[in-house]
Amino acid sequence: MTQHSSPVRQVGRLRRAALIGIAAVPLLGLAACGGDDAKDSGSGGDAEPAKEITIAHQAFGESEIAARIYGAALEGEGYTVEYQSFKDRAAIYAAFESGDVDLVPEYAATALEFLNGNAGEASPEIEPTMDKLEAQLADKDLAAGAPSDAVDSNSLVVTKATSTDRGVTKISDLTADLRLGGPQDCPTNAGCIPALKSAYSLDFSSTFVPLDLGGPLTKKALEQGDIDVAVIFSTDASIADKDWVVLADDKGIFNADNIVPVGTKALLDEVLASLDKVSAKLNTANVTKMNKRYDIDKDDAETVAKDFVSAEGL
């Protein structure tokens, strides 16, 4: 249920890995791709070379916003930052290998499963997931900063009315008579109904409504009351727009897809403290609100990022 794709959360996110994909959000006003060779500042023979870096992002709003927030921190360190959009994760890591990019905002569990060939090492716990991710990155002369508290993962979502009327705030509060809407493969997907049945003893097989992967069909059905529970990504803009409630995954079936900066070891050796300061300010709620501004209010990513940086004193 996420924009990296794969089965619902046990294996990785349904949005950002490989089994199931959704359309990427078109970007507004992408910056041009820049090189990373150091250039003279032009102020004299003894001047230090300009520090130029390129930050990659995937082709959807949340990724670009995060890239620009981390970029603002590096501008504060004296770097000239350029941004480049990539169609997928494979292209980003190829660009790392060729030296064309220096940093990217990543998603911990999905990045791990991409790098390990979907070996199933990611878990709902961020610490062991990060340990394994860092080992994979080290083999590529890359490193990661501290993970943020912003988690863009598969999630189960209900309306505010359902949450209030039925006292539902976590997945274990649900009952199997409720109608679950989600991707069409949910009944057989290891991370969807089978995971809910195994971990929560919730079998939605008889009440499941096949729709789409956190897309317009699922959102419309939830809003109109055609379903009671929806499989929607945890930072989806509609959650902030409609005041919906993301249910706590209290028994841990969804992997730890925390936003985390990944970059060259050389760069992170210099700017780790600044990146970690940014990560400490990011959480699921404020990322969801920024996504609303981008996806629904139609503010551009640069403006959304600048406003966040200013508000948080970064």
Place of tokens 């990659």: 56
DSSP string, 22-91: -PPPPPSSPPPP-----B--SS-TTPPPBEEEEEEEESSHHHHHHHHHHHHHHHTTTEEEEEEEESSHHH
User: Which pLDDT tens digit goes with each residue over 247-265?
Assistant: 999 999 999 999 999 999 9
Task: Give the pLDDT of residue 50.
Answer: 66
- The reply to whether 95 and 239 lie within a common domain is no
**What tens digit of pLDDT does each residue of 4-41 get?**
443 343 333 444 443 333 333 332 232 333 333 333 33
The closest alpha carbon to 274, from 313, 314, 309, 302, belongs to 314
Contact 169, 248 (CB under 8 A): yes
Q: What pLDDT was estimated at residue 29? A: 32
Same domain assignment for residues 163 and 289: no
- Going from the C-alpha of 160 to that of each of 19, 169, 239, 283, the distances in angstroms are 31, 10, 10, 21
- pLDDT for 7 equals 37
* Residue 107 shares a structural domain with residue 180: no
285: which 2 tokens? 């709620």
Please give the angle made by the CA atoms of 256, 261 and 267, to the nearest 5 degrees: 150
| 20: its two tokens | 């199931």
- Residue 141 sits at the vertex; the CA angle it makes with 257 and 119, to the nearest 5 degrees, is 45
Nearest CA among 126, 117, 158 for reference residue 144: 126
**Residues of the chain with confidence (pLDDT) below 70:** 1-50
Report the distance separating Cα 112 and Cα 123, nearest Å. 10
Residue 38 has what pLDDT? 35
Where residue 166 sits, what CATH number does that domain have? Answer: 3.40.190.120
Same domain assignment for residues 189 and 202? yes
Q: Which residues pair with 107 in a beta bridge?
A: 259
* pTM metric for this prediction: 0.84
Residue 43 is predicted with a pLDDT of: 37
Query: By C-alpha distance, which of 111, 108, 96 is closest to 55?
Result: 96
- Looking at the structure, tell me whether residues 147 and 12 fall in a common domain: yes
- My answer on whether 47 and 127 are in the same domain is yes
In this structure, the answer to whether residues 6 and 116 fall within a common structural domain is yes
CATH of the domain at 269: 3.40.190.10
What pLDDT is attached to residue 33?
A: 34
Q: Which residues contact 193 (CB under 8 A, 6 or more apart)?
A: 180, 186, 187, 203, 204, 205, 208
Task: State the residue range of the domain holding 271.
Answer: 1-151+257-314
Question: Cα–Cα distances in Å, from 191 out to 106, 254, 255?
Answer: 21, 8, 10
Cα separation, 136 vs 115, in Å, equals: 6
Q: What is the pLDDT of residue 99?
A: 98
Total number of domains in the chain: 2
Distance linking the first and last C-alpha atoms of the chain: 31
Q: What does the pLDDT read at residue 101? A: 98
178 and 235 in a single domain? The answer is: yes
Residues 66 and 95 in one domain: yes
Nearest by Cα to 119 from 100, 106, 135: 135
User: Are both 264 and 242 inside the same structural domain?
Assistant: no
Radius of gyration from C-alpha coordinates of the chain: 20
